[in-house]
């Protein structure tokens, strides 16, 4: 915490950025920084720094997180496993170099070893960059997640949210299969247990992001909070959920996935119809599209 210290501010020195007097507030010790004559909150400073660093993220890193928007930690773990396998190859090649008697063959093995070590360093750097970006994304609050989402999907956000819901269902189905396999093995496979935990962590992260987006959409379209929406519709929701599970006691996952797929297609048709209506110049044709 360079240039950071705890201080008790007197009543005539405000800890607010606008420096307005605040004599009625009891000032408690809090970490602040002194930067060029201004008191600065470290948390706000970090958020501004993260915002500035968005454009410095390499393109391949952005593409990685576009490919794995919710299970990026699992993908990074796969990279780490590849690195471990790569280390085994380096150890084997090192033994070849040490044991080889022929100078020409030894030189060839050494060149291969140098190449493997260079690849290993590259993989380590990639994993480090991906891990740093993953940690940044984990720190994003729900509002920032929603803002970025709406920027990326200004017109088809309903379809994208439903796609996320379907992906979560797929992960739940995969998780149930993994748990079933583990039970059949007697729960003795350590790797299987670690994989199950990875699935659970992935689902939690996906649900967290989904809830943030659903809350933002409710506020955006209905002008109420998620809690208010749930409270207003709690009875209807409960009845619908109960009926759904009564109708689908066994195949609830597949039925829910199908329902969401149909809903996604409906939103797509609505969006396409809306776009066609806004682009149509002829009033008569425009009225037909309503």
**157 — pLDDT class (breaks 50, 70, 90):** confident
The mean-pLDDT minimum among 45-49, 193-197, 229-233, 242-246 falls in 45-49
Taking the C-alpha atoms of residue 49 and residue 43, their distance in angstroms, rounded to an integer, is 10
Domain covering 67-139 in this structure, CATH number = 1.20.58
Mean pLDDT of 5-23: 48
CA of 288: how far to CAs of 265, 278, 280, in Å? 21, 12, 10
Decide: 39 and 32 in contact? Cβ < 8 Å: yes
Q: Where are the alpha helices (DSSP H) in the chain?
A: 42-52, 59-67, 72-99, 103-139, 142-152, 157-184, 190-222, 226-232, 234-247, 252-279, 283-288
Taking the C-alpha atoms of residue 50 and residue 43, their distance in angstroms, rounded to an integer, is 11
pLDDT digits 0-9 by tens, 171-212: 888 888 888 888 887 766 666 777 788 788 878 888 888 888
Angle made by CA atoms 151, 154, 157, in degrees to the nearest 5: 105
Residues 6+ apart with CB under 8 A from 169: 253, 256, 257, 260
- Break the chain into its structural domains and give their ranges: 4-52, 67-139, 142-227+238-279
């Amino acid at each position: 915490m360079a240039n950071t210290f705890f201080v008790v501010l007197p009543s005539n020195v405000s800890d607010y950025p606008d420096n307005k007097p605040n004599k009625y507030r009891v000032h408690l010790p809090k970490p602040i920084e002194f930067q060029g004559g201004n008191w600065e909150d470290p948390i706000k400073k970090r958020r501004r720094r993260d915002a500035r660093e968005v454009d410095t993220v390499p393109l391949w890193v952005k593409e990685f997180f576009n490919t794995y928007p919710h299970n990026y930690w699992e993908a990074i773990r796969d990279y780490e496993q590849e690195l471990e396998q790569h280390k085994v190859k380096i150890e084997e090649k090192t033994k070849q170099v040490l044991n080889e008697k022929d100078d020409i063959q030894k030189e060839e093995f050494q060149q291969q070893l140098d190449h493997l070590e260079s690849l290993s360093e590259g993989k380590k750097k990639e994993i480090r960059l991906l891990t740093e970006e993953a940690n940044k994304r984990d720190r994003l609050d729900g509002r920032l997640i929603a803002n970025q989402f709406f920027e990326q999907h200004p017109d088809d956000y309903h379809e994208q949210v439903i796609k996320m819901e379907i992906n979560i269902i797929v992960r739940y189905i995969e998780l149930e299969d993994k748990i079933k396999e583990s039970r059949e093995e007697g729960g003795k496979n350590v790797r299987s247990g670690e994989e199950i935990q990875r699935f659970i962590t992935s689902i939690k992260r996906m649900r967290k992001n989904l809830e943030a987006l659903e809350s933002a959409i409710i506020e955006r379209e209905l002008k109420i909070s998620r809690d208010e929406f749930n409270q207003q519709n709690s009875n209807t929701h409960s009845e619908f959920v109960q009926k759904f599970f009564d109708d689908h006691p066994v195949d609830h996952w597949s039925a829910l996935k199908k329902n969401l797929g149909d809903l996604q297609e409906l939103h797509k048709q609505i969006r396409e119809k809306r776009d066609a209506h806004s682009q149509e110049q002829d009033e008569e044709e425009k009225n037909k599209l309503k």
